[in-house]
Amino acid sequence: MHAIAPGNGGRQEQSRLISNLRILAAACWTGAILITCANAAPPALRVPLPKPRPAEAPKVEPDKQAEEKAPEKLAPQPSACRLALTEDIAIAPTLPPIIGPGACGGDDIVRLEAVVLPDKSRVPLKPAATLRCTMATAVAEWVRGDVAAIAREAGTSVSELDNFDSFDCRGRNRVAGARMSEHGRANALDVRGVKFANGQFVSFTDRAVARELRAKFIASVCARFTTVLGPGSDWYHEDHVHLDLAERRSGYRICQWDVWDSMPKIAPLSPAVRPEDAPPRETAEDKAKREAAEKPAASEPPAAPAPPKDKRANKKGARKPGAFR
């Protein structure tokens, strides 16, 4: 019988312990892998996240991206009016759309600097007018057609068109809170007159200008514009004429411009005030007695009543200059 040395027995025990620890470690290692693999997504489904954009990279604006994709939105197509209003008709560069304030403004706006006559001569607007294309075209056609013809009949030519007011964001007649004027839509022009090449300024509202000449201008504008307001329309248009292209139901037009004669026939509104130093009034009985005593002396014709005061002229002088409607 072999005696087992206690030293040998201890080493065996130690060796078995180490062996068991190795098995346990291997089991733990395998288990750890299994757990890790169970938690991990299958490699085929893994989607790599994009790398964050470097801070120094140039910024790309969303609008610019959209514009690059739709280049046709960059420049809106010019309107049919814009295409027709060539430099053979008028010097009228395109202006950017006017947006506000409020309901004011519009697109297809031009700066009407001059009208070009068929003989290529230019009739400048002083100053240039801001108008929507359709209104600018109407003004150009009026000057090219009618105004040029009227000047020709007068033995001269037209050299300048007065612009009293064009685009102006305001209520009618500059009344606060009033309905918006066509001026606010760049659809109106106020004019005081035209200048002829012979130096004459034909004021549309000046009674010193021949009545026949003023009547020709009235007929021409009322045929071309849907609203014409001049002297006689209201208190605001005694020194200029308002023209616009307002659209109304059934094509209704307004043409209110009276050609005053040199002496307007306005009836006096009330009898003249009796002067304090006037002699006392005589009764019908006194008068009969006096006339009987004076016979057969020739009687003086009754004194003509004092000419009526032109209240319009007074009003005109009272208000501040400016353009209305």
Is 185 among the residues that bind Zn ion (CB under 5 A)? no
Q: Which stretch binds Zn ion (CB under 5 A): 150-158, 169-177, 189-197, 283-291?
A: 189-197
Upstream peptide bond of 71 is cis (omega within 30 degrees of 0): no
C-alpha closest to that of 128 among 166, 81, 168: 166
How far from 152 is each of 14, 158, 213, CA to CA, in Å?
Answer: 133, 8, 12
**Residue type present at position 312:** R
Figure out which of the listed residues 226, 242, 245, 257 binds Zn ion, where binding follows CB under 5 A: 242
C-alpha closest to that of 238 among 136, 316, 174, 123: 316
Q: Which stretch binds Zn ion (CB under 5 A): 34-42, 104-112, 118-126, 240-248?
A: 240-248
Is 190 among the residues that bind Zn ion (CB under 5 A)? yes
Euclidean distance between CA atoms 238 and 60, whole angstroms: 59
The DSSP-derived string for 70-85 is -GGGTSPPPPHHHHHS
Angle, vertex CA 21, rays to CA 19 and CA 23, nearest 5: 70
The CA-based diameter of the chain, rounded to the nearest angstrom, is: 199
| Contacts (Cβ under 8 Å, ≥6 apart) of 66 | 73
Is 325 among the residues that bind Zn ion (CB under 5 A)? yes
Binding mask 261-300 for Zn ion (x = CB under 5 A): ----------------------------------------
**Residue 242 C-beta: closest distance to Zn ion, Å:** 3
**Residue 55 C-beta: closest distance to Zn ion, Å:** 58
Give SS3 for 16.
helix
Using the minimum distance from each CB to Zn ion, give the nearer residue, 232 or 308.
232
Using the minimum distance from each CB to Zn ion, give the nearer residue, 159 or 220.
220
Using the minimum distance from each CB to Zn ion, give the nearer residue, 137 or 173.
173
Q: Which stretch binds Zn ion (CB under 5 A): 9-17, 76-84, 150-158, 239-247?
A: 239-247
C-alpha closest to that of 162 among 126, 111, 116, 190: 126
Q: Which stretch binds Zn ion (CB under 5 A): 2-10, 22-30, 68-76, 234-242?
A: 234-242
**Residue 324 C-beta: closest distance to Zn ion, Å:** 6
**Residue 181 C-beta: closest distance to Zn ion, Å:** 7
Is 239 among the residues that bind Zn ion (CB under 5 A)? no
Using the minimum distance from each CB to Zn ion, give the nearer residue, 170 or 214.
170
Is 170 among the residues that bind Zn ion (CB under 5 A)? no
List phi, psi (to 5°) of 277.
-90, 10
Q: Where on the chain is the footprint of Zn ion (CB under 5 A)?
A: 188, 190, 242, 325
